[in-house]
Structure 1
Amino acid sequence: MTEDWREGPLNPVPLAPQAQPQKPTGRELRRQRRRRRRRAEEILAWVLVPLICLGIYWGIAAGFEFMGSSPGQVWDQLMQVKAMMEKRNKT
């Protein structure tokens, strides 16, 4: 057992020559493009969807402002029309 301690350093083992990296195949290139496209679409969606929602909200608010009304007033008027229609159908 003590003889193992007196042995010299280990000799390095020669490595096999490394193969040149092969060009990706057509399928691999298509998968990479698809992955990049999906990632770009996801990022674009995270930016555009909130902008579209804000644009719709601002458009509706501007429309109410232009007409000199508000959503609450429109709702109250719709409820009055509904009440009138119900009263009309009862008689």
Structure 2
Amino acid sequence: MTDDLQEGPLAQTQYAPAPTKLTAREQRRRRRQRRKRGEEVLAWILVPVICFGLYWGVNAGFSALGTSPGQVWDQLMQVKALMEKRAG
């Protein structure tokens, strides 16, 4: 118990220098970096959601009309052949 009291003097502590205030240009650059990073994250989320929504919407539209993309393509090819036949 008395050993604790017989220690030497405490060493000097090193204080960290005060943080320097950022310049307006540096603040603007950091804001721009954060905004770009946020836009990237948002794009990685929104692009797949939009693609899936378009796919679902097209399929729902075909289902509502009682047809399929293959049938629509076949009909378009028939119309194209008919137009070529009429022109030639």
- Give the structure 1 partner of residue 75 of structure 2: 77
Give 5+ residue unaligned stretches, structure 1: 1-16
User: Could you tell me how far 1:33 is from its partner in structure 2?
Assistant: 0.6
User: Could you tell me how far 1:19 is from its partner in structure 2?
Assistant: 4.1
- Give the structure 2 partner of residue 49 of structure 1: 47
The secondary structure found in structure 2 opposite 1:22 is coil
CA RMSD of aligned residues (A): 1.8
Which residue type is aligned with residue 24 of structure 1?
L
Give 5+ residue unaligned stretches, structure 2: 1-14
Map residues 1-91 of structure 1 onto 2, 5 A cutoff. Answer: 19-90=17-88
The alpha-carbon distance between structure 1 residues 19 and 87, as it changes in their structure 2 partners (threshold 3 A), is same
Q: In structure 2, what is the Cα distance between the partners aligned to 1:78 and 1:59? A: 21
User: Could you tell me how far 1:49 is from its partner in structure 2?
Assistant: 0.4
Q: In structure 1, what is the Cα distance between the partners aligned to 2:85 and 2:16? A: 89
The secondary structure found in structure 2 opposite 1:33 is helix
- Give the structure 1 partner of residue 8 of structure 2: none
| Runs (4+) off by over 3 Å | none
For normalisation by structure 1, the TM-score amounts to: 0.76
Q: Which has the larger radius of gyration?
A: 1
Q: How many residues align?
A: 76
